[in-house]
Amino acid sequence: MRNVSLTESVADYALSLRYEDIPENVLVHARTLLADHLACAFGGSVTPLASSVRAFARFTGGEPRCSVPGLETKTSPLMAAFVQASFANALDYDDTGSRGHPGASIIPAVLALSSDLKLSGRELLTALVIGYEVNDRVARATLPSPECYAKVHANGSLQAIGVAAACGRLMGLNREKMLNCLGTAGVMAPVPHAGKFGWEDKSIASVKDNVALPSENGVRAAVLALNGYEGSESVLDGESGFAAMLGSDRCDPDILCDFSAFTLPGVCLKPYPCCRWIHPALDALSELKADCGFSSRDVVSLDVATTPPVAARFGKKRARTFLDMEFSTPLTLALLLNDVPRARWFESCHWDSPTVRETAAVVTLTGDDGLWKRFLELGRNSSCVPAAITVTLRDGRKVKSLCDRASGSPEKPLSAEAQARKWRELMVSACGQDAAELLTTAHRIDELACVDTLTSLFPVVGDGPKSGAPCS
């Protein structure tokens, strides 16, 4: 029988994990996730969404203590977490876990606090691992039933606990204060919003994956707890616990409290700047395009069989904003077919160009119950949303491909060359330079005596292109 509560189990893990306990393969992947996050944050910092966030940061102000990728001035740790999380998720190019985008919430808060507190790279990396491991347990333990998930789910909201655990560790909280930190973060987490994601509205909501508030929230909860603020010490426990707050009908205590193996290596890198649920279709098309040597001009029709939820919501062929593009199977397939550089997919002159619209017009989506069954068999993981595509070519050929595991997942990892290509393209797009020293330093973060060595290498980025601006 368990001698401690669910909340105590998570708090004890966050307090007890040592850098020396972390296997090298976990450290390697954590460094890679840090580098990937920084590249995504810089890339996202020049989007129209980032302009809104940048204006908010200027209006709100804050003591200039922390550097943020793509922000021209320093800001407070709280604002740094919010801004960097927003930038990192803007392109939908950031890492994905079993649910949601954990790195976009965890890394900004950990980086801001580590820099502000003048901590070492080892302390930062240990906190990152804690954040990812706790987040994954909460994500898997509270995954709603398919029926409940269709009504409401909370990928961003659930990340509040992992971020808080990482921040509490960095703040040096004792057990009592760590429990208060987790309790405060849980009740201050944003409400589940998937029912109002924007599918039925004019456009996808700018808050999208809701990663920024949990990041800011983790910093807030840790600082408050350090200074005597009290929260529920049983926030994860009972029928009215955090799972219920998330709108879930499920909480598996065995998953939530099992820290016997590290799951961070299962966090996926994304090779395309769009929703992960579209990636298997993009992989299938990319494979056919490479094998058969056709271009967009050769395609008469492109038929995509996928799960019914994707077919119902991801089939729009026109977009109002670049966020709509990120959730459009026809537009993303068209951008890939027309060889648009991935770091520039967000620019309206690409996703709204006559050429891309013409290609998107020949794409059809069909829901397939067999592929839905396969999705359930694969554990309802965001990297395993099956897609079968059929391309009809002008020469009369029909070529087909099926993909049920997206590239960037543990089973199909991105090569070092593919990772470097993605990061270089993002950095050059945002900063006009590849920032190789920054990304190399991220890969040796645990050698740094002070995290400021990393943040001092952030290149300067201007306001970036505004919505409707001509492509560069």
Do both 196 and 170 map to the same domain?
yes
- pLDDT given for residue 462 in this prediction: 53
Per-residue pLDDT of the chain (472 residues; tens, 9 = 90+): 457 899 999 999 999 999 999 999 999 999 999 999 999 999 999 999 999 999 999 999 889 999 999 999 999 999 999 999 999 999 999 999 989 999 999 999 999 999 999 999 999 999 999 999 999 999 999 999 989 988 888 888 999 999 999 999 999 999 999 999 999 999 999 998 887 888 888 899 999 999 999 999 999 999 999 999 999 999 999 999 999 999 999 999 999 999 999 999 999 999 999 999 999 999 999 999 999 999 999 999 999 999 999 999 999 999 999 999 999 999 999 999 999 999 999 999 999 999 999 999 999 999 999 999 999 999 998 899 999 999 999 999 999 999 999 999 999 999 999 999 999 999 999 999 999 999 999 999 999 999 999 999 999 885 444 433 446 5
The rounded radius of gyration (Å) of the Cα atoms in the chain is: 21
Which candidate, 120, 129, 108, 125, places its Cα nearest to that of 448? 120
Distance CA 214, CA 108 (A): 10
Strand partners, 363: 302
Asked if 352 contacts 319 with a C-beta cutoff of 8 angstroms, the reply is yes
- pLDDT given for residue 463 in this prediction: 44
Do both 360 and 226 map to the same domain?
no
Stated as kind and residue range, the H or E segment containing 301 is: strand 299-306
- The number of domains in the chain is 2
Do both 81 and 171 map to the same domain?
yes
Which candidate, 320, 289, 358, 309, places its Cα nearest to that of 468? 320
Which residue is associated with the tokens 């079968």? 388
In a domain, 43, yes or no: yes
Do both 294 and 211 map to the same domain?
no
Do both 331 and 388 map to the same domain?
yes
Distance CA 431, CA 179 (A): 41
Provide the domain limits for residue 328.
Answer: 276-403
Helix (H, G, I), strand (E, B) or coil at 75: strand
Last residue of a domain, one of 403, 437, 463: 403
Do both 256 and 317 map to the same domain?
no
Indicate if the alpha-carbon torsion angle 193, 198, 200, 201 is positive or negative: positive
Distance CA 244, CA 249 (A): 7
Buried b (16+ CB within 10 A) or exposed e, 327-342: bbbbbbbbbbbbebeb
Which residue is associated with the tokens 């005597």? 228
Half-sphere exposure for 144 (CA within 13 Å, toward CB): 21
- pLDDT given for residue 199 in this prediction: 86
Distance CA 6, CA 15 (A): 15
- pLDDT given for residue 467 in this prediction: 39
Distance CA 115, CA 123 (A): 11
Do both 222 and 293 map to the same domain?
no
- pLDDT given for residue 464 in this prediction: 45
What global pTM score does this model have?
0.96
Do both 297 and 186 map to the same domain?
no
Do both 97 and 178 map to the same domain?
yes
- pLDDT given for residue 466 in this prediction: 41
By the 10 Å C-beta count (0-12 exposed, 13-18 middle, 19+ buried), 430 is classed as buried
Tokens describing residue 100: 């949601």
Which candidate, 21, 37, 189, places its Cα nearest to that of 104? 37
Which candidate, 413, 454, 401, places its Cα nearest to that of 69? 454
In this structure, the chain runs to a length of 472
- pLDDT given for residue 3 in this prediction: 79
Do both 206 and 312 map to the same domain?
no
